[in-house]
Structure 1
Amino acid sequence: MFSRFKHRSYELERLDTGDYTPEEYARWHVEMKYIHRAFGEMRAIRRSLMRDIRSGGGERVSVLDVGAGSGELLRAVHKWLRSRPSYLVGAELNAKAARAIYRGSQRGEIDALQCNALHLPFDDGAFDYVICSLFLHHLTDNDAVKLLREMSRVAAKRIFIIDLHRSPIAYYFYRATSRLTLQQFTREDGALSILRSFKPTELRQLAENAGLTDIGVKRSAAYRLVLSGK
């Protein structure tokens, strides 16, 4: 029963194959905002990125979010920074998602760019921090290593990756609770996301393979893992 959790699944999610209707995709965006707030991403980013930012003084800070979705995390970062000068950018391969980030930026506080995460169109050290949340598990191990290298190249200070902890408890808890609130598309992709995700030792190995230094892997609430490095 638990053998399926021993290794990562590489079965593609519908989000990756494009097998969804416009209505399903629109509802998925709404549901992902709820998931970010209720299932751990906000807590994880506050206890990783924001803690590091606050330890560095009050100077201008720049953050790139790779695979930013609708830009929910960047909007939270902007709110937490308050009046502190910042430059926040969401990078997305999906054109609809990139437009959603821009539309959700009420005063232009967040920029959006459609691009390939494995070939980021930025100079070395262009941003203080580079983050990604619930994106790494969509990649193969080889592409995950490429992404970590790109993030490290573009980050002058540190990178933070938030992703799921592959475990039977996380999987069956999600299956039991998601049926009460989420559409079938989100439920099925979410369950597969857990099977595609990582154990702490696997995340660390990917970071080492990417050549990162000062690597840290911490457990966070709601079966999340936070990988950090330089």
Structure 2
Amino acid sequence: MTMMRSRSLEKELLDADEIPSDDLRQNLRELDIINHYLGGHSITIKGIKQLIKNQKQSISILDIGSGGGDTLKAVAIWGREQNQKLKLIGVDLKNDCIEFAKENCIDFPEISFIQSDYRTIEHSDLKIDIIISSLFCHHLTNDEIVVFLRWMHKNSRTGFIINDLQRHPIAYQSIKLLTTLFSKSYLVKNDAKLSVARGFIKSDWENLIHKAGIKNAYIKWHWAFRHLIVVNTE
């Protein structure tokens, strides 16, 4: 574990089919706090700005694995500050996540949510410009990620963005300590460090992107042990 040469294959508790609603909600609240203070949302917004540049017409953004809606909420706040019209759609498998997200984003009519597997979503009428994925890919196997990369490349008119964790011993030990001290969620205590162990080093992304047949990917490390991947599909 100390060297973390390869991705962990251990499944996270959050990936279980049945999680008590109150436990899942506590998990979502704490993940929002972690993402906010460790800059996770700002990294995704950097990727969006890189894709749209000075574009000011209405932009549609689809968030796969939207969880509690905190990423889309941060994007909506940014859009309002920039006077950028946005249509934001979150997709998640879990009904409890969708219901929590709707409550979380009730003051943002530009955000809507769909309960679905991304592979079966009826996206033909959505006319999506940008697809984003924040802290979703580490839940997938490498083969599943290759399929996901191809799907995003095919279904985004402007491009797609991935924001996910770097696999690193310091990140692992740091989040383990923080969640041990401050978290009230058994899901966060177990999964936060495991998420890092299931995360990626840059060469992982390079190999996965190559297997997906994508040639123009931008990969950059960001503080708090994240990688931002941006692909322009125009």
Shorter-normalised TM-score: what interval? Answer: over 0.9
Structure 1 stretch displaced more, 215-224 or 145-154 = 145-154
| Residue 85 in structure 1 maps to residue 85 in structure 2 | yes
**Residue 60 of structure 1 corresponds to which residue in structure 2?**
58
**Residue 141 of structure 1 corresponds to which residue in structure 2?**
142
Return closer, same or farther for 1:69/1:32 CA change in 2, 3 Å cut-off. Answer: same
**Residue 127 of structure 2 corresponds to which residue in structure 1?**
126
Q: C-alpha separation between the residues in 2 aligned to 1:160 and 1:96?
A: 25
**Residue 15 of structure 2 corresponds to which residue in structure 1?**
16
Q: CA deviation at 1:209?
A: 1.4
Cα deviation 1:104-150 (Å, max 9, x = unaligned): 23242201001112334213982111001001000111111111111
Q: C-alpha separation between the residues in 2 aligned to 1:218 and 1:119?
A: 30
Q: C-alpha separation between the residues in 1 aligned to 2:146 and 2:125?
A: 17
| Residue 102 in structure 1 maps to residue 102 in structure 2 | yes
Q: Is residue 163–residue 227 contact of structure 2 (8 Å, CA) maintained in 1?
A: yes
**Residue 191 of structure 2 corresponds to which residue in structure 1?**
189
Q: Is residue 68–residue 100 contact of structure 2 (8 Å, CA) maintained in 1?
A: yes
Q: C-alpha separation between the residues in 1 aligned to 2:94 and 2:126?
A: 24
Structure 1 stretch displaced more, 205-214 or 8-17 = 205-214
Cα deviation 1:45-70 (Å, max 9, x = unaligned): 232213432x1321111100000111
**Residue 2 of structure 2 corresponds to which residue in structure 1?**
2
- Which residue identity does 1:106 align to in structure 2? D
Return closer, same or farther for 1:205/1:60 CA change in 2, 3 Å cut-off. Answer: same
Cα RMSD (Å) of the superposition? 1.8
| Residue 206 in structure 1 maps to residue 208 in structure 2 | yes
Q: CA deviation at 1:18?
A: 3.9
Structure 1 stretch displaced more, 98-107 or 213-222 = 98-107
Aligned length: 228
Q: C-alpha separation between the residues in 1 aligned to 2:174 and 2:144?
A: 29
Structure 1 stretch displaced more, 65-74 or 101-110 = 101-110
Return closer, same or farther for 1:66/1:143 CA change in 2, 3 Å cut-off. Answer: same
Structure 2: any 5+ residue segments left out of the alignment? none
SS at match of 2:57: coil
Q: CA deviation at 1:81?
A: 1.1
Q: C-alpha separation between the residues in 2 aligned to 1:139 and 1:148?
A: 11
Return closer, same or farther for 1:121/1:204 CA change in 2, 3 Å cut-off. Answer: farther
Q: Is residue 40–residue 220 contact of structure 1 (8 Å, CA) maintained in 2?
A: no
Runs of 4+ residues over 4 Å off in structure 1: none
TM-score for both structures, normalised by structure 1: 0.92
Structure 1: any 5+ residue segments left out of the alignment? none
Map 1:145-184; keep pairs closer than 5 Å: 145-182=146-183, 183-184=185-186
Q: C-alpha separation between the residues in 2 aligned to 1:127 and 1:213?
A: 21
TM-score for both structures, normalised by structure 2: 0.91
Return closer, same or farther for 1:18/1:119 CA change in 2, 3 Å cut-off. Answer: closer
**Residue 218 of structure 1 corresponds to which residue in structure 2?**
220
